[in-house]
Amino acid sequence: MRIVLMGPPGAGKGTQAKKLAEFFGVPQIATGDILRAAVQEGTPLGKKAKEYMDKGLLVPDDVMTGIVKERLQEKNTENGFILDGFPRTIPQAESLEKILEEMGVKLDAVVNIVVPRQELIERFAGRRVCEVCGSTYHIKYNPPQKEGICDKCGGKLITRADDDVRTVEKRIDVYERETKPLVDYYQRKNMLVNIDGNRPIETVFEDIKSRLRGEG
């Protein structure tokens, strides 16, 4: 299964990507997670990426394309992958097409998770992520069993630096301007699967699975 998950920041891409990756037995490739790991390690990539991420801006296309190309060539993507957070611009989508063509594979679908702006803002306010394994929680909609502690690995839950209201507003604006045109792009290629993301996590997950099986 080769899938791209699209949608505004906070739509639930990471949440659904993890569930889909587990269900299909393929890796989740989350460009945001890759960048945050580089920032933590203080690599040259991390230092460069941080400047953009802190402002809510997109990291340049050539940097992102290089990261994804390298990652897709690792062995465990043989049976597929769930791409979460890439592509985010038309040039990134065009590069992805070239990379996959070179690999001799095709995307099965582009899943577009649709959520109204006001609901997104609410989600950010409660988002907590595990600083160790990257698992995502919400203090109201998807709380951990023990407050502040990751269910999966016992790691500490933190609020992401770019989840403050001002940066979030900015990121949603950037999405509208630079990423939303991809909806039309993939629609024209007949690859788009629109999903109403404004429902409980399990309902959204079941809907994505059944749509990928071609039931509806």
- Of the residues 2, 36, 88, 128, only one is catalytic, namely 88
Question: Chain-centre distance of CA 129, in angstroms?
Answer: 14
Cα of first residue to Cα of last residue in the chain, in angstroms, is 18
Q: What are phi and psi of 132, to 5 degrees?
A: -95, -55
For the purposes of burial, counting CB atoms within 10 Å of the CB of 146, is it exposed (0-12), middle (13-18) or buried (19 or more)?
exposed
Kindly state the tokens that stand for 167.
């940066």
123 contact, one of ligand ADP, Zn ion, none, CB 5-8 Å limit per kind: ligand ADP
Q: Active site includes 171?
A: yes
Q: Does 3 bind ligand ADP (CB under 6 A)?
A: no
Among ligand ADP, Zn ion, none, residue 135 binds (CB under 5-8 Å by kind): Zn ion
Cα torsion 125, 130, 135, 140 to 10°: value is -30
Catalytic-residue membership of 128: no
Residues between 154 and 193 that touch ligand ADP (CB under 6 A): 171
Residues 135-174 as x/- pattern, contact with Zn ion by CB under 5 A: x--------------x-xx-x-------------------
144 binds, among Zn ion, ligand ADP, none (CB under 5 to 8 A by kind): none
* Annotation marks residue 13 as catalytic: yes
Q: Name which of ligand ADP, Zn ion, none residue 31 binds, using a CB cut-off of 5 to 8 Å depending on partner kind.
A: ligand ADP
Helix (H) or strand (E) holding 46: helix 44-55
Q: Which of 22, 47, 79, 132 binds Zn ion (CB under 5 A)?
A: 132
- Amino acid in the structure at residue 114: V
| Distance, CA of 153 to CA of 7 (rounded, Å) | 27
Angle between helices 61-72 and 44-55 (to 10 degrees): 120
160 is catalytic: yes
Q: Which of 4, 68, 130, 174 binds Zn ion (CB under 5 A)?
A: 130
Q: Which of 160, 180, 209, 211 is flagged as catalytic? A: 160
Looking at the annotation, which residues are catalytic?
Answer: 13, 88, 127, 160, 171
List of residues contacting Zn ion (CB under 5 A): 130, 132-133, 135, 150, 152-153, 155
